[in-house]
Amino acid sequence: MIRIANGQGFWGDWLEAPVRLVEQGPIDYLALDYLAEVTMSILQKQRQADATLGYARDFPPLIARISGAIRERGVRVIANAGGVNPVACAREVVRLAPGLKVAVVLGDDVYPRLDEFLAKSYEMRDMDTGEPIAAIRDRIQSANAYIGAFPLAEALGTGAQVVIAGRSTDTALALAPMVHRFGWKADEFDKLAAGTIAGHIIECGAQSTGGNCQVDWQTIPDMANIGYPIVEAEPDGTFVVTRHAAAGGRVSIHSVKEQLLYELGDPRNYITPDCVADFTSVRLEEAGPDRVRVSGIRGGPRPPSLKLSISYANGWKAIGTLVYSWPQALEKARAADRIVRQRLRGLGLEFDEIYTEYFGVNACLGPAAPPNPDPPEVQLRIGVRGADKKAVDRFTRELIPLVLNGPPGATGFGEGRPVVREIVAYWSALVPREEIVTRVEVVE
């Protein structure tokens, strides 16, 4: 049995979680998931401005902080913190934690190869709309293939104490140690599906140990010190989801079920680079306090294509807010919205979209929100998006004047004019699997 923990669900997750995982009890592997689709474009911009950047900068200081546990207890770290510059990330780890053996997995970044793919008549159509990638080619900012667990397992095979990848799948971070330690083969689909689902359950960190839990959330113990999830994996593919006994939170069938449904499309056909997992085959049972055993998982062959995560520039946006107080708070906020829209029309400004929400009334639940005709305060939140940056900037100058020339009782304007931001959109496409060739390098 091996213990695989996950201490980060996204870049910006709780900094103390991975430290507590290595301090509060035994684990063999620490997975750290930093990447989301838009994160890749942010990192690509950072690298374009500075060739030494392009990775999750929280990661190297964290490794330095837990380097004692890595050395003394044999904990091994697997992370996709490398973003679009895994080598630079590894070098910074080596600088801050000298003496650790660090391996990087390369080959997922295909941004320089897009024209090569187009020359081979790969249309790379958007998986949602079917539109060919030629429509956005000149606006693409990053392009990365999702890689699976086997390249990460190869990196573990070098004896590296820290393995750094770019755009690996979230689930691969937990599956890779199982492939490495148990010697699972590429055609053992049931086992690979089990490891994939184990990775899915823990990939969002504390979301499977009581965080963001809809069932009895008020009774979750010591949420301020919530424990992050640990998988106790067996060679046959069964596993237990748990947490350290010294930590807060709760592992239950309810918490595991909620995470199982996270970002799930067809439950019989969960596609990854390593296999296709059947979530309807999952069997859950309580195995003691804060222990859920998972078994019965079935899987199928891996797909012939790999998915690309592509980000591209798609115009500009700005969002501003004002707060209106009782009485007639909602009436004031709606009047302010009408005034702004009328003034924008009077200026001849056009946008792809103008969108308004009323926080305290229906911003979260929309038409499903219960009636609240006379709330004590309402936050007006209005935003625009469009291709013309100057038009978006002009919008930002129309909200704050309402404090004096609009409905009474406005407040919450201390931050001044809204900021104009670039919109980064997401495009997913497929390429033949054989086009993506990974390699492992040791950085010492």
The full DSSP string for 160-196 is: -SEEEESSB-TTHHHHHHHHHHH---TT-HHHHHHHH
Are both 194 and 340 inside the same structural domain? no
Question: Is 435 contained in some domain?
Answer: no
Strand order in the sheet with 439-443: 283-286, 292-295, 239-242, 230-233, 2-6, 29-32, 76-79, 162-165, 102-106, 439-443
- CA neighbor of 150 nearest in space, from 117, 181, 186, 124: 186
Are both 298 and 323 inside the same structural domain? no
Low-confidence ranges of the chain (pLDDT < 70): none
- CA neighbor of 274 nearest in space, from 184, 143, 142: 184
Q: What is the DSSP letter of 248?
A: B
Question: Is 439 contained in some domain?
Answer: no
How many beta carbons lie within 10 A of that of residue 382, not counting itself? 23
Are both 279 and 374 inside the same structural domain? no
Are both 340 and 410 inside the same structural domain? yes
Question: Is 280 contained in some domain?
Answer: yes
Domain with residue 343: its CATH number is 3.30.70
Question: Is 347 contained in some domain?
Answer: yes
Q: What does residue 420 show for φ and ψ, rounded to 5 degrees? A: -80, 130
Range of the domain at 400: 310-427
Q: Give me the number of domains the chain comprises.
A: 2
In angstroms, the CA 271 to CA 201 distance is 15
In angstroms, the CA 245 to CA 289 distance is 9
Residue 22's pLDDT is: 97
Question: Is 151 contained in some domain?
Answer: yes
In angstroms, the CA 37 to CA 20 distance is 28
Are both 173 and 320 inside the same structural domain? no
Are both 379 and 256 inside the same structural domain? no
Question: Is 212 contained in some domain?
Answer: yes
Helices (H), ranges, 203-308: 253-260
- The number of CA neighbours under 13 Å toward the Cβ of 326 is 7
Are both 248 and 190 inside the same structural domain? yes
Q: At which of 275, 303, 331 does a domain end?
A: 303
Distances (CA, A) of 442 to 104, 160, 386, 418: 6, 8, 45, 46
Are both 259 and 401 inside the same structural domain? no
Determine the 3-state secondary structure of 15 from DSSP. Answer: coil
Q: Residues of the chain with pLDDT > 70: what percent?
A: 100
Q: Angle 253-260/189-202 helices, nearest 10 degrees? A: 100
In angstroms, the CA 288 to CA 284 distance is 12
* Strand stretches in 326-395, DSSP E: 353-359, 377-386
In angstroms, the CA 201 to CA 260 distance is 6
Q: What is the pTM of this model?
A: 0.94
Largest CA distance in the chain: 71
Q: Decide: 186 and 200 in contact? Cβ < 8 Å.
A: no
In angstroms, the CA 226 to CA 244 distance is 10
Q: At which of 251, 280, 303 does a domain end?
A: 303
Are both 66 and 168 inside the same structural domain? yes
In angstroms, the CA 263 to CA 362 distance is 24
Are both 177 and 198 inside the same structural domain? yes
Residue 123's pLDDT is: 87
Question: Is 140 contained in some domain?
Answer: no
Q: Decide: 66 and 112 in contact? Cβ < 8 Å.
A: no
In angstroms, the CA 4 to CA 195 distance is 11
Q: At which of 283, 303, 323 does a domain end?
A: 303
Q: What share of residues in the chain are helix, strand, coil (percent, to 5)?
A: 35, 25, 40
Residue 215's pLDDT is: 85
Are both 275 and 228 inside the same structural domain? yes
Are both 274 and 173 inside the same structural domain? yes
Residue 321's pLDDT is: 96
Q: What does residue 431 show for φ and ψ, rounded to 5 degrees? A: -135, 155
Distances (CA, A) of 101 to 76, 81, 154, 162: 10, 16, 14, 6
Question: Is 129 contained in some domain?
Answer: no
